[in-house]
Amino acid sequence: MLRSIAAVGNDSEFGEPRREPALERVEKSVRPAVLQAISSIQERYFEPITLAELASEVFVSRFHFSRMFAEATGVTPGRFLTAVRLFEAKRLLLTTSLNVSDIVCSVGYSSVGTFTSRFSRAVGMTPTQYREPQVAELLVAISPTFQRLPPLRTLRAAGRSCASLQTGSGVLSLQLDMPRGAAPADTLVGLFADPVPQCGPVAFGGMANMNSGELTIHGVPAGRWTAIAVAQHQAGTAGPRFSIGYSPVQVAPHGQSTGRVGLRAPASTDAPIAITLASKQSPFTQRMLAAQRPHLRAVA
């Protein structure tokens, strides 16, 4: 399901992703030291990497390195490393039968208890719950080497059982600007409390075969959110097959709010994201709870 980001630059069976001219321009504007540090994180995320080590590798001070890294990626080096480790942990949970302790060691954590607590707090599910089939079925993945968007019909079928959805009275109308030359796309926009989310959105909306235009999301809680747009374009044009966009939005408690998101091809400076729209209370979990209830009543 998720392809390992560690495969970048190694002997990967998936090959190199097609590079877009616009993406090349984005990456040329990033300082080589940042790109080198990102490459080092991707190759060594399972090691105990420190900020001092990353800064020394690119011959700058820790303060200067942290500042220019955040300017290029939008997050600190530590948060970027955590995003890479959790992305890989989710990949292993979904695609292998490795036990949790083996996964913990392979993604750079030394304690199963610490990893489980951090994973559960960030994702909203335990590692074991994350292995339920519905999690993979409703997975959204964004990285430079792998992108996935669940079919919109699957999301519609899931309805209000999607994870993290909150009740709100706001309406958000977003103007989505697709990349130049891009074909129509199945598009999903989620609103998140974190710019590098690990759990589901507070609200989302989608549209099939969409060009640049407006997408409206209803039932949005009031507050300041990060809108993340993901578009999977039809084949047959010179434009990208997959594009993404990020933008902060402010939603009023009543009435209609507006925002704008420009989409582009994924870049190496994007922290990888893998979130599921599946609820922790999936059908499997509900069946398990139902099976336990008679026993609990008997004990009482």
pLDDT, one tens digit for every residue, the chain (300 residues): 443 333 333 332 223 344 444 444 444 546 899 999 999 999 999 999 999 999 999 998 999 999 999 999 999 999 999 999 999 999 999 999 999 999 999 999 989 999 999 999 999 999 999 999 999 999 999 887 788 898 877 777 665 555 556 778 899 999 999 998 899 999 999 999 999 999 989 999 999 999 999 999 999 999 999 999 999 999 877 778 999 999 999 999 988 999 999 999 999 999 999 999 887 654 444 443 344 333 323 222
Where in the chain are all domains bearing CATH 2.60.40?
Answer: 139-276
- Which pLDDT does position 14 carry in this prediction? 27
User: For position 218, what pLDDT does the model report?
Assistant: 92
Q: 31-131: which CATH number, 1.10.645.10, 1.10.3470.10, 1.10.10.60, 1.10.490.10?
A: 1.10.10.60
Delimit the CATH 1.10.10.60 region(s) of the chain. 31-131
pLDDT computed for residue 30 by the predictor:
64
Would you tell me which CATH number, out of the four given (3.30.930, 2.60.40, 2.60.120, 2.30.30), belongs to the domain 139-276? 2.60.40
pLDDT at site 50: 92
First-to-last C-alpha distance (Å) of the chain? 43
